[in-house]
């Protein structure tokens, strides 16, 4: 009976604390206009991506060669492109591609950066030197050039673009995680964990990773803007998403030829990229304040 009582008290207390913490962060973000903007745009982006088939009035691939390059009107909210496809529908479906890129890149980059950084920082010495020199090699190339080289080698496609962006985006995360780890490494609670017989892997996973997570999370959020821009850049150069995929960067690339007469071809995808990357930047800034250790004391 004791056991069940304690179990219920455990779930009864730790759950709300977690929820309370995330709720506090969200309310903190919502209170400031800049991060609130980021939050709203991000929520909108996710909503649009989820409900794309309902929101989009036309198929993003449906060509209508009799209605090419139509200016914005009631029938086509953002006009049509050179093949008569509805730009609004393409933008809506493009949100899915953008979200996929962000999601996959983050999922790849976060764990790799965290792993390399914490291992290098915790062990120090030769392990640190080898891992950090590898990181330096990746850091010493301009990221867009490196992604270009990777995509050129692997062949242009959306998946390869995601791999290429991931390859160039992890080193800053690793650096950050290493710097954070080195400040905690000699803390007494790490020494206590070692005296309890915890293995290095256990110490890194249970003690160090939770301490590094907030700053890595902030950095990842700030990185997302760069990821979107790099993805759009690769799309623009024809090395990312391939036509007829409605990727925003690729839309700008094809619209560029008609830019002088038909401004809507490049303006709307451009605005979408601007809004989303700005939103992620502002959200990252807000998160930095919200996850500040001084703020953590409030929960």
Interacting residues toward another protein by CB under 8 A: 2-3, 6, 9-10, 13-14, 187-189, 191-198, 202, 206-207, 210-211, 297
Taking the complex as a whole, the smallest distance from the CB of residue 21 to another protein amounts, in Å, to: 10
Specify burial of residue 19 (Cβ count, 10 A radius: 0-12, 13-18, 19+).
exposed
Lookup result for tokens 């973000």? 29
CA atoms within 13 A on the CB side of 60: 22
For the chain, the farthest-separated pair of C-alpha atoms sits apart, in whole angstroms, at 78
Q: Do residues 144 and 167 touch, judged by C-beta distance below 8 A?
A: no
Taking the least distance from each CB to another protein, the nearer of 103 and 189 is 189
Taking the least distance from each CB to another protein, the nearer of 153 and 195 is 195
Taking the complex as a whole, the smallest distance from the CB of residue 106 to another protein amounts, in Å, to: 22
3-state secondary structure of 196: coil
Taking the complex as a whole, the smallest distance from the CB of residue 187 to another protein amounts, in Å, to: 6
| C-alpha triplet 61, 66, 71: angle, nearest 5° | 80
Taking the least distance from each CB to another protein, the nearer of 6 and 59 is 6
Specify burial of residue 66 (Cβ count, 10 A radius: 0-12, 13-18, 19+).
exposed
Taking the complex as a whole, the smallest distance from the CB of residue 219 to another protein amounts, in Å, to: 19
Taking the least distance from each CB to another protein, the nearer of 256 and 299 is 299
Taking the least distance from each CB to another protein, the nearer of 34 and 215 is 215
H or E segment and range at residue 198: none
CA neighbor of 77 nearest in space, from 96, 59, 60, 57: 57
Taking the complex as a whole, the smallest distance from the CB of residue 19 to another protein amounts, in Å, to: 15
Taking the least distance from each CB to another protein, the nearer of 206 and 256 is 206
Taking the complex as a whole, the smallest distance from the CB of residue 181 to another protein amounts, in Å, to: 14
């Amino acid at each position: 009976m004791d056991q069940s009582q304690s179990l219920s008290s455990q779930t009864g207390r730790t759950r709300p604390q977690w929820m309370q913490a995330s709720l506090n962060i969200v309310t903190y973000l919502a209170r400031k206009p800049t991060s609130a903007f980021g939050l709203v745009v991000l929520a909108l982006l996710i909503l649009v991506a989820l409900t794309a088939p309902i929101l989009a009035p036309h198929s993003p691939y449906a060509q209508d060669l009799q209605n090419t390059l139509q200016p914005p009107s009631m029938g086509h909210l953002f006009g049509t492109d050179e093949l008569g496809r509805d730009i609004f529908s393409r933008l809506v479906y493009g949100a899915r591609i953008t979200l996929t890129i962000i999601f996959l890149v983050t999922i790849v980059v976060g764990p790799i950066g965290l792993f390399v950084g914490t291992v290098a920082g915790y062990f120090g010495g030769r392990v640190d030197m080898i891992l950090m020199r590898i990181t330096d090699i990746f850091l010493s190339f301009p990221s867009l050039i490196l992604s270009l080289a990777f995509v050129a080698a692997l062949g242009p496609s959306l998946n390869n673009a995601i791999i290429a962006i991931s390859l160039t985006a992890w080193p800053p995360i690793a650096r950050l995680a290493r710097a954070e780890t080195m400040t905690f490494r000699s803390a007494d609670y790490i020494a206590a964990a070692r005296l309890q017989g915890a293995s290095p892997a256990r110490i890194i996973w249970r003690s160090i990773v939770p301490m590094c997570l907030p700053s890595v999370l902030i950095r990842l959020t700030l990185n997302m803007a760069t990821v979107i821009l790099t993805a759009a850049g690769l799309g623009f150069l024809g090395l990312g998403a391939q036509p007829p995929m409605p990727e925003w960067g690729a839309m700008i690339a094809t619209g560029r030829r008609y830019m002088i007469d038909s401004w809507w071809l490049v303006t709307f995808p451009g605005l979408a990229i601007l809004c989303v990357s700005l939103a992620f930047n502002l959200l990252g800034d807000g998160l930095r304040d919200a996850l500040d250790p001084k703020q953590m004391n409030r929960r």
